Amino acid sequence: MAKQKTILFLCTGNYYRSRFAEVFFVSVARKMGMPWSASSRGLALERGINNVGPMAAAEFKALEAMGIRDADRCGRLPAQVTVVELEQADIIIALKHSEHLPLLQERFPSFVERVEFWHVEDTPEALTVIESKVMDLLARLLGGGGEAPPQAVALQPSKKPMTAKVGRETAGRRGKGVTSVFDVPLNEDALKELATKLKQLCGTGGTVKDGRIEIQGDQRERIVAELEKLGFMVKRVGG
């Protein structure tokens, strides 16, 4: 069992953007069985004078609509980040470069070089942007790219979604077909983790061979649905 690592999401008031990123990341990472969790904090809680309650109502409704319910994370009040939390985080992400870089330079200058900056405005459209960026982040971590220098990553354009091809093969298998998943841009360990998850989902056996996942039986519908849920762009191959 891999040691759990932590993402720390930062925004100004820990009321809207960073909270959504935290809860959404944790929900998807749990479903994927990834050894990552997340927390979120604010850089300047005193500026959130109009923030009422634990988190923004629109954000809570958006999570509910997605079937995500996390009473502990959604129910706590906004919290100010501490030096200890910055030190303990494996990856630190600030949600908006132009807004949060000055705050970090003023209050936590020794951590600026460790922070990956996104560019998410504090608007109603922010949640859609954050959802996309979190899925990109999860794909990067799943592919073993979590240790990339944060400043370099921040300056790169958004990566394309992870892709996968799904098909069914029966030739040479004495009528016992398998569902194959291939052309997945994952390293061997990540591919094995994904195969284990798909076998558990389908309740059947399978293997990883020559960079391909093979799951016994015609499991295409289940597998495609699960891969899409995990953020993959799936292409069906064959009949």
- What is the token pair recorded at 141? 């971590």
Which residue from 73, 66, 55 is spatially nearest to 16, judged by alpha carbons? 55
b/e burial code for range 139-162 (CB count within 10 A of at least 16 → b): bbbbbeebeeebeebbeeeeeeeb
Mean pLDDT of 191-200: 86
> Is pLDDT above 70 for 200?
yes
pLDDT digits (tens, 9 = 90+) for 22-59: 999 999 998 888 899 999 999 999 998 888 889 988 88
Backbone angles phi, psi at 27, to 5 degrees: -60, -50
Per-residue confidence band for 20, with pLDDT thresholds at 50, 70 and 90:
very high
Per-residue confidence band for 2, with pLDDT thresholds at 50, 70 and 90:
low
Q: Which domains does the chain have, with CATH numbers?
A: 5-155 (3.40.50.2300), 163-236 (3.30.780.10)
Per-residue confidence band for 79, with pLDDT thresholds at 50, 70 and 90:
very high
Which residue from 147, 239, 139 is spatially nearest to 184, judged by alpha carbons? 139
